[in-house]
């Protein structure tokens, strides 16, 4: 199944502990990316469009993103909740989904 949303064709990197899924299931977010014809990356590069942060994101990765943005890149850093809301085009998350960090 393919979806078209604001993430279609974009490049993503996920860092930190995601709240909705445990570390062993992080690939579920990668599958969402594939559904939107987006790409999951494993390292910081100028080609990134979004860095999605969970709890305890890598400080080194965030510093690297900041440096690239100073050099003229436009890499957006969003949290996991924002990713979910924007992916499914929701104004609010359903009440049974909550994020505690």
Q: Where do the structural domains in the chain lie, given as residue ranges?
A: 11-87
Q: Is 9 left (phi over 0), alpha (psi -120 to 50) or beta?
A: left
Q: Phi and psi for 65 in degrees, rounded to 5?
A: -65, -45
11-87 falls under which CATH superfamily? BRCT domain (3.40.50.10190)
Residue 100 pLDDT grade (very low, low, confident, very high; cuts 50, 70, 90): low
Q: Per residue in 4-50, pLDDT tens?
A: 888 999 999 999 988 877 666 777 888 889 989 999 999 999 999 99
Sign of CA dihedral 101, 6, 32, 37: negative
84, 21, 17, 51: CA torsion to nearest 10: -30
């Amino acid at each position: 199944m393919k979806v078209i949303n604001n993430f279609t064709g974009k490049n993503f990197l996920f860092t930190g502990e995601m709240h909705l899924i445990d570390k062993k299931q992080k690939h579920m977010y990668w599958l969402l990316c594939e559904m939107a014809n987006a790409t999951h990356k494993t390292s910081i590069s100028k080609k990134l469009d979004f860095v999605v942060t969970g709890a305890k994101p890598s400080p080194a990765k965030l510093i690297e993103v900041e440096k690239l943005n100073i050099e003229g890149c436009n890499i957006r850093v969003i949290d996991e909740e924002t990713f979910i809301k924007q992916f499914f085009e929701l104004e609010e998350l359903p009440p049974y989904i909550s994020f505690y960090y």
